[in-house]
Structure 1
Amino acid sequence: MAYKKRARPTVAECVDGILSGDRILLSKAITLMESQLSDDNELAVEILDQVMGRTGNATRVGITGVPGVGKSTFIESLGKYVTGLDKKLAVLTIDPSSQRSGGSILGDKTRMEQLSHNPMAYIRPSASQNALGGVALKTREVMLLCEAAGYEVIFIETVGVGQSEVAVNDMVDFFLLLMLPGAGDELQGMKKGIMEMADAVAITKSDGDNIKAANRAKAEYQNALHLFPSSESGWYPKVSTCSSIQHTGIKEIWDIIREHETLLKSNQHWNKNRGLQNLQWMHEHINHALRKQFFQKEYVKNELMVIEERVRKGEVSAYRAALDLLKSLHL
């Protein structure tokens, strides 16, 4: 029996489906957005244009953490609490990409089994596909589609490759850093930049024999955060402890997220931050489009391997080689 290719949904079908909360059509629209095919991308942009009026109303939370901190378990625990408040939650998880297939490796729905069966939650794993910073190229657009579908809270989990924290911080309202008990040694190796970005630090696995260590870590992180200059918004980062297994401290962390939102909306920093993020978003797409256009130029395709070899041998400077290739853009 011959395989019959499934028909691609129309723009109208996807728009109607997204606005009515149809998870299947939302997923299909996201697939179009993440596709490597330009025809799919054009349809996805049309869909996004038509649903933009329904976006921007969600609370966007970025979540990152050191290896072994239990991000997935924490997200599932916090997600169950949020959906218990009758809020629709979308979890966008960025998986490392398989070098062979380009697909995600970890399989987030298996990592958050209970949440994946929750009718109030939608989990979408995306392969980073070697995008800069380990964040999927279309994460922001996927987030907007989820908002248009009525999801009131968006979690974005980083892949944790170093630069991903910066990339995610530039697309969320609240950035949460998860750390393990035993902060003394970890604090020494912790990147200052990541600590400065955090709106809150949560010490996970604060249960059983770890409680004393977690409380000690809380005090050490709070002292460390006080050394950083205060943010322009007037928010001072908070440190809390929690146990995803015993579900303790989860409510307190959600309360911190809500407190942060209330403050920033009251002093106009909420909209200011989003406006700046939108501008950065646009410039990133310009850079990506120019790079893609550049490498599709016939002159570049023909000359690249030759000039790369000359640069490798030291026959021409990298600077001169780049300038010669850029001439093909006629800028």
Structure 2
Amino acid sequence: MKIAFTGGGSIGHVAVNMALIPEAAKHQIECIYIGSKAGIEKEAITSQFPDVKYYGISSGKLRRYFSLDNAKDILKVQKGVFDALNVLRKERPDIVFSKGGFVTVPVIIAARMLKIKTIIHESDVTPGLANKIGLKFAMKCYTTFEETLKYIPGGKADFVGGVVRDDIFTGDKNTGYELTGFSPDKQVLLVMGGSLGSKTVNTAIRSHLDALLRHYQVIHITGQGLTDQQLDRPGYKQFEFVKDELPHLFAITDTIVSRAGSNAIYEFLALRKPMLLVPLGLDQSRGDQIDNARIFEQEGYAGVLQENELTSATLMAALQKIEDNRAALTAAMNEAYTSFTPEALLQKILDDAS
């Protein structure tokens, strides 16, 4: 048995694949990965899974608006189909599992041409453009949110909930305190701006750092190249990016401020961490994070602060509301739907493709 995984452009389009690959290895299933030639997925997969063959293919950006670059990128997608055909003919996988992102479109088209069964996964409430195209060629789509089922016609979709990596539960508090130099006697606020960081969130945190430090010790994951070395204060620890350290940082965290990417917020939910979500605005996205945050707020798992409302006063007020409602938030999270484990999702993939 061999599975070709694909997905890229952000860590959100790789995270589920990264959870499934170790499970596949436990069952002696060979894995390969098809991604872009220089995207974030290449570093994530090759560093984490050196035994997994990684194939980089040509890929173009898919836009919902008119741009002269669309013509160039159509050619890149066509080249990507030929690249993917060569990989799939060489490797002959039994299944293609696609997590989304622009690079997956040529892979899914090539798999259909070769009659390889393809399953896609949609993390957000509404399908992204790549997955909308992929749905025409795939046999099945798994969804993170139950609401997504109404956007996918023909009974092609199954709701599986959030799928989180097992390693997020392995954090050690002592290691977390060693990494940060923090004390267990004061609450810890973890700030995350997504896999690429967020200048807006970073600026808001730094602008109000004095007020925050009166109440919290602050772990700030800034994004690559976005740390500010002039801000060296007791109780404030910056990281550009974390990987192996993240479970230990989670272990000492009391409250999280984050963007609203679905993979991340489902990890916070699984860890029962009260969260304040600042979703990407419509000026930077199609609104998928706004939808994700809305559902988590409705379910009682999170507070939400829209980016255009982010000020010193609103940030502190929103965090105070999280503290005031901590018991209710935790209770709601404890009652949350138990999502598929990576092992259960892998078994479902194998069953559906059999």
**Greater strand fraction, Structure 1 or Structure 2:** 2
Q: TM-score when scaled to structure 1?
A: 0.38
Q: TM-score when scaled to structure 2?
A: 0.36
**Greater helix fraction, Structure 1 or Structure 2:** 1
User: Highest CA radius of gyration, 1 or 2?
Assistant: 1
